[in-house]
Amino acid sequence: MRLTTRPARLAVPLLVGGLALVPLAGCSFTSNNVSCSGSECTATLTGEGSEASILGNSLVFAGTQDGRATLSVGDAEVSCAAGESVSAGPLELTCTSVSDDSVELSASLG
């Protein structure tokens, strides 16, 4: 007599199928001002206090002064000019464009 129940037999293929999809999650997406592909994202933040969620981290734009954008990721606060790269918490940021009220950047996990 076999004691295997039907739910247990169904759980294994569902678990294996679900695990197969995990690498695809976060592979590529676009949401409002953020576009990600693989482990790199680009974002445009406009207006002081604007926020974006990038690779599981909250990024906040605090404004610009003298051609430098001020950004924070968690407790880390950094500033960068166009073309500069900086580390902010777990992210490596490259400011590609900085204007009076916006910043365009790329981000990857550092």
| pLDDT, tens digit (0-9, with 9 covering 90-100), for 8-18 | 444 444 333 43
Distance CA 39, CA 41 (A): 7
Q: Look at the chain and count its residues.
A: 110
User: What does pTM read for this prediction?
Assistant: 0.69
Ramachandran assignment for 56, one of left (phi > 0), alpha (psi -120 to 50 degrees), beta (any other): left
Cβ contact 55:43 at 8 Å: no
| pLDDT, tens digit (0-9, with 9 covering 90-100), for 51-109 | 999 999 999 999 999 999 999 998 899 999 999 999 998 999 999 999 999 999 999 99
Phi, then psi, of 50 in degrees rounded to 5: -70, 150
